[in-house]
Structure 1
Amino acid sequence: MVFLLAVSLLWALSFGLIPRVSPLGAPFVAAARSLLALALFLPFVRIRGLARRDGFALALVGALQFGLMYVFYTASFRWLLPSEVALFTIFTPILVALADDALSLRMSWSVLGVAALAVAGTAICLGARVRQEGVLLGFLLVMASNACFALGQVGYRRLARRLGRPDRQLMGLLFTGAALVTLAMAVPGIDLPRIRQASASQILVLAYLGLVASGLGFFLFNTGARKVDVGTLAVFNNAKVPLAILASGLVFGERVEWIRLAMGGGVIAFALALNATIRGR
């Protein structure tokens, strides 16, 4: 759980940076993040003794969890405000619960209930309003991103536990799959003049998003995912939202509805406690 809490804090401070680089094009940003993360973990890859089918499976998981997820997520900022993107990502816990049930060929109503509580708590924290027009495509893009991320993390959790290898040896293979997907989508429509005009601050943001938010962040997240039960994993998919709101108030001095944040955070904490009680029976 410590790993998931650490990455939630990391992502809470990173959320507002994506709109700064989205003018460079969603496919390019996704490819840049994947390539930088791949460069970070490639030296740690160990394929000796790894079955070819497992290597392909890891690359496929990475293509889904990081590659397609990035493309859909970054593209949504063209159609949505950051607050709307944040609001629509809150459904990921339910998708995590459903993905795990689908792979297990069973239905766990307790996990689904805990996930629904996490969604409700996050919705209370945000209290965001959605515009009446022009958001449908953005909503569908975010939901596609949520589905890719949910399926990827559940798939990695199962695969990594079976392989029994350190996460640092596997992450490079995941980012290889992500890089192949994002490059295939970025190259045909890449806007070189726009990219050449990228400012120094945009380059620094890309470097941070690729090496820290993506590389270190997903390493911590996937390491934590294999150490906890699926209910805890589902809830922590939304932990970054109240933490991001808390950071905006304490660090950046923005206006925060503290009562709403406390109520929503309390519901999320209750979801974690309830899940621990159910698992302890």
Structure 2
Amino acid sequence: MGYLVAVTLLWAFSFSLIGEYLAGQVDSYFAVLTRTLLATLVFVPFLRRRWLNLKLAVQLMLIGAVQLGVMYIFYYQSFLLLTVPEVLIFTIFTPIYITLYYDWLARRFSPYYLLTAVLSVIGAALIRYDNLTSDYLVGFLVVQGANICFATGQVAYKQLLAKQTTPPPHLAIFGCFHIGALLVSIISWLFFGKAHYPTQTMQWVILIWLGAGASGLGYFLWNKGATLVNAGALAIMNNALIPAGLLVNLLIWNRDTNLLKLFTGGSVILLSLYLNERYTRRRKP
């Protein structure tokens, strides 16, 4: 759980930096390409052939391509169809997809995990609810594409590592994950990218940090943490970023935030996490 909490805080700061210095100023596909390229350069030197075979390498690349590469394509396209509040509202369904996909792979159904995931969605909705425009169905579906990619990637990585007879060190194989994401990022930039590049030193510094820190270290720690917790906790932590991100914006940039909604929704998310952990401990012999 510690890995997931640490990455939640890391990403909360990172999203604020994107909103302040990059959004609307730097081409989003170029930003994604830069981030995945830097993350790949950080982790490729740690690849170890003794822990990799062709099948495992391809599986990791596919997971990275979906969880990070394709997810970003859906995510950035959604901002062309929706208002920002709508995008934020529609991302709260990720915990449900995680729970359902995990149970489908395991050929079982865990209603309690699904219940706590739904509870975390309710908590996130209390924080992020705003008025919706009348024409949002296509945008909703696009955001769900991003949610499904992110959810399936996490679960697939968790399951892939669990199936290994001798689980390899995460650091020795994770470069393949970023290689897969990089390939998708290159293709998306070639087809959709525009000539809007950073013009300020601060923007380059933030891109470097996002690439090596948020994308590189962040996804490594998040996916590693995903292998150490149950499906319910993983699902719930996907919505913990919403109150954390709002709190960072409030404390650093003094953005207008409804403190009552933040406290109420955050409390519901924490309650869902507590109930999930209590249920998991009671099931252990």
Provide the TM-score with structure 2 as the length reference.
0.90
Alpha-carbon distance in structure 2 between the residues aligned to 1:261 and 1:99: 29
> In the alignment, which of 41, 44, 47 is matched to residue 46 of structure 2?
44
Partners of 2:108 and 2:25 in 1: CA distance: 43
Pick from 116, 121, 124: which aligns with 1:122?
124
C-alpha spacing 1:104/1:25, structure 2 compared with 1 (3 Å): same
CA contact (8 A) 1:114 1:272 kept: yes
- Partner of residue 166, structure 1: 169
- Which position in structure 2 is the counterpart of 1:80? 82
Aligned equivalent of 2:205? 204
TM-score, normalised by the number of residues in structure 1: 0.91
Asked whether the equivalents of residues 16 and 248 of structure 2 are also in contact (C-alpha less than 8 Å), the reply is: no
State the shift of 1:158 in Å.
1.3
| Further displaced range: 17-26 or 202-211 | 17-26
Q: Please state how far the C-alpha of 1:219 moved relative to its aligned partner.
A: 1.2
Any conservation in 2 of the 1:18–1:74 contact (CA below 8 Å)? no
Stretches of structure 1 that go unaligned for 5 or more consecutive residues are none
1:236-256 per-residue CA deviation (whole Å, 9 max, x = no partner) reads 001010111122222222232
What is the distance in 1 between the residues matched to 2:199 and 2:142?
25
> Which residue of structure 1 aligns with residue 262 of structure 2?
261
Distance 2:51 2:209 in 1: 33
Q: For residue 205 of structure 1, report the CA deviation from its aligned partner.
A: 3.1
**Aligned 8 A contact 2:16 2:249 in 1:** no
Distance 1:132 1:202 in 2: 36
Q: Deviations along 1:75-128, whole A, 9 cap, x unmatched?
A: 222333333322211110001001101211222111111100000011112233
For residues 23 and 280 of structure 1, the distance between their equivalents in structure 2, rounded to whole angstroms, comes to 48
- Which residue of structure 2 aligns with residue 12 of structure 1? 12
| Percent identity of paired positions between Structure 1 and Structure 2 | 39
**2:242 alignment partner in structure 1:** 241
Q: Deviations over 1:34-83 (max 9, x none)?
A: 11111111111112242211111111111111110112112222333333
* Partner residue in 1 for 2:185: 182
Question: Aligned letter for 2:180?
Answer: G
State which of 168, 193, 196 in structure 2 corresponds to 1:194. Answer: 196
* Cα separation, 1, equivalents of 2:255 and 2:28: 28
Secondary structure at the aligned position of 1:268 is classed as helix
* Conserved? CA contact 1:29–1:74, under 8 Å: no
Q: 1:59, 1:174 within 8 Å by CA — same for their partners in 2?
A: yes
- 3-state SS, counterpart of residue 203 of structure 2: helix
Aligned equivalents of 1:215 and 1:152: distance in 2?
A: 15
Give the secondary structure class of the aligned counterpart of 1:151. Answer: helix
Structure 1, residues 217-236: CA drift from partner, whole Å, max 9, x if none? 11111111011111000000
The alpha-carbon deviation at position 257 of structure 1 amounts to 1.9
CA distance in 1, matches of 2:79, 2:211: 18
- 1:23, CA displacement in angstroms? 5.3
Mapped partners of 1:48, 1:265: distance in 2: 44
Cα distance, 1:153 vs structure 2:
0.3
Q: Which whole-Å deviations, capped at 9, do the CAs of 1:9-28 have from their partners, x for residues lacking one?
A: 11112223445245544433
2 CA distance for matches of 1:26 and 1:70?
Answer: 9
Residue deviations 1:175-218 (CA, integer Å, cap 9, x gap): 01111122122224443x433x6443433332232222111111
Contact 2:100 2:114 in 1 (8 A): yes
In structure 2, C-alpha distance between the alignment counterparts of 1:45 and 1:21, rounded to whole Å: 33
- The amino acid of 1:173's aligned partner reads C
Letter in 2 for 1:226: T
- Contact 1:16-1:82 within 8 A present in 2 as well: no
Q: Following the alignment from structure 2 to structure 1, what is the Cα–Cα distance between the partners of residues 138 and 209?
A: 28
> Number of aligned pairs?
278
Q: Which stretch shows the higher mean deviation, 249-258 or 230-239?
A: 249-258
Q: Distance in 1 between matches of 2:210 and 2:142?
A: 20
